[in-house]
């Protein structure tokens, strides 16, 4: 029997997001992508940070862990290195990923572990009541910036393109069929895949609602974009906020982090036989 989104849905509770939140679209797209990829829920792990969308693992029946703000990527990298045969998804928001988690993001792109990094980008810190985030536009009025945001916005796609990310994509939470396909492509990509998702926060980012993105998004692949052309990708990444192309900006094949480390030649760490490993000399060395 074909799998369905229900196969990935936790029986323990329902999402507590505001009605109309873009996180609902992201959740459904993730579950549809997993079902269409025919992933065994027992072979999937979903790791998140802190934020509205970062509650995502609570609504999934796969392996999951909610970690600390900004720390989803290093935790996921460790878990992935322990068992890189699982499909690894990491989920975060723009504050989580491009603020406190920015350093981890850059180093993960350099290393290229085989995982999908899903960032719900709503341009605010929604969970803490709508303060400006790293992707908020300069001049944005918010609870922490009553006179306007003094900082220009981070461009996450340009940043990824400049830092060796082997798959750079953008989706939109209001275009489910496109987002499902993009997530499938990202999962099937061999390497670190960023999927930045335009996510309306209907409570705190009302100027960037569904109508705003509906009017300004267009399909990158249908426009004839060549996703092997880094320079063209950089130009496309610079179109926002006038236009928001969605799709695969850039993709390249290069060795995985787990392939570069000799410790994993014998397979994932969890399958190594450690019954004959003697750690006594180590204890002696560190206790003397």
Asked if 28 interacts with ligand SF4 (CB under 6 A), we say no
Minimum distance between the CB of residue 116 and Mg ion, rounded to whole angstroms? 19
Number of residues that bind ligand SF4 (CB under 6 A): 11
Q: Which candidate, 156, 142, 174, 31, places its Cα nearest to that of 92?
A: 156
Minimum distance between the CB of residue 23 and ligand SF4, rounded to whole angstroms? 5
* Nearest residue (CB) to Mg ion, 77 versus 121: 121
Distance in angstroms (rounded) separating the CA atoms of residues 33 and 38: 8
Written as six digits, the tokens of 283 are: 């204890």
Minimum distance between the CB of residue 62 and Mg ion, rounded to whole angstroms? 23
* Nearest residue (CB) to ligand SF4, 128 versus 145: 128
Place of tokens 């369905």: 4
* Nearest residue (CB) to ligand SF4, 58 versus 203: 203
Interaction site with Mg ion (CB under 5 A): 93-95, 122
* Nearest residue (CB) to ligand SF4, 10 versus 16: 16
Q: Name the burial class of residue 184, with classes exposed (0-12), middle (13-18) and buried (19+) by CB atoms within 10 angstroms of its CB.
A: middle
Distance in angstroms (rounded) separating the CA atoms of residues 48 and 75: 9
Distance in angstroms (rounded) separating the CA atoms of residues 229 and 179: 22
Written as six digits, the tokens of 123 are: 């341009």
Distance in angstroms (rounded) separating the CA atoms of residues 95 and 93: 6
CA dihedral 145, 146, 147, 148 (to 10 degrees): 50
Asked if 201 interacts with ligand SF4 (CB under 6 A), we say yes
x/- track of binding to ligand SF4 for residues 158-197 (CB under 6 A): ----------------------------------------
Rule CB under 6 A: which of 107-136 touch ligand SF4? 122, 126
DSSP letter, residue 57: G
Contacted by 94, from ligand SF4, Mg ion, none: CB < 5 to 8 Å by type: Mg ion
Minimum distance between the CB of residue 125 and Mg ion, rounded to whole angstroms? 6
Binding site for ligand SF4 (CB under 6 A): 17-18, 21, 23, 52, 122, 126, 201-204
């Amino acid at each position: 029997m074909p799998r369905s989104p229900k196969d990935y849905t936790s029986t323990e509770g329902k999402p507590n997001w505001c009605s109309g939140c873009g996180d609902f679209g992201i959740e459904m797209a993730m579950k549809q992508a997993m079902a269409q990829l025919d992933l065994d829920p027992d072979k999937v792990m979903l790791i998140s940070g802190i934020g509205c969308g970062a509650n995502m693992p609570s609504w999934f029946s796969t392996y999951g862990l909610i970690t600390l703000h900004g720390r989803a990527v290093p935790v996921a990298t460790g878990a992935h290195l322990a068992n890189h045969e699982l499909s690894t998804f990491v989920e975060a928001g723009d504050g989580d990923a491009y603020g406190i988690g920015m350093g981890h993001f850059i180093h993960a792109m350099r290393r290229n572990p085989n995982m999908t990094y899903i960032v719900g980008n709503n341009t605010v810190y929604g969970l803490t009541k709508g303060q400006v985030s790293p992707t908020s536009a300069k001049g944005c009025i918010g609870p922490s910036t009553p006179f306007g945001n003094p900082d220009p916005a981070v461009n996450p796609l340009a940043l990824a393109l400049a830092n060796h990310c082997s798959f750079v994509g953008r989706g939109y939470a209001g275009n489910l069929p496109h987002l499902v396909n993009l997530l499938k492509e990202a999962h099937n990509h061999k390497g670190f895949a960023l999927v930045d998702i335009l996510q309306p926060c209907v409570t705190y980012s009302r100027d960037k609602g569904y109508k705003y993105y509906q009017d300004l998004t267009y399909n990158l692949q249908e426009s004839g974009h060549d996703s092997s052309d880094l320079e063209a990708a950089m130009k496309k990444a610079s179109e926002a906020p006038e236009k928001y192309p969605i799709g695969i900006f850039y993709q390249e094949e290069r060795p995985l982090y787990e392939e570069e480390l000799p410790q994993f030649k014998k397979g994932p760490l969890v399958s190594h036989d450690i019954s004959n490993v003697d750690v006594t000399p180590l204890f002696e060395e560190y206790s003397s």
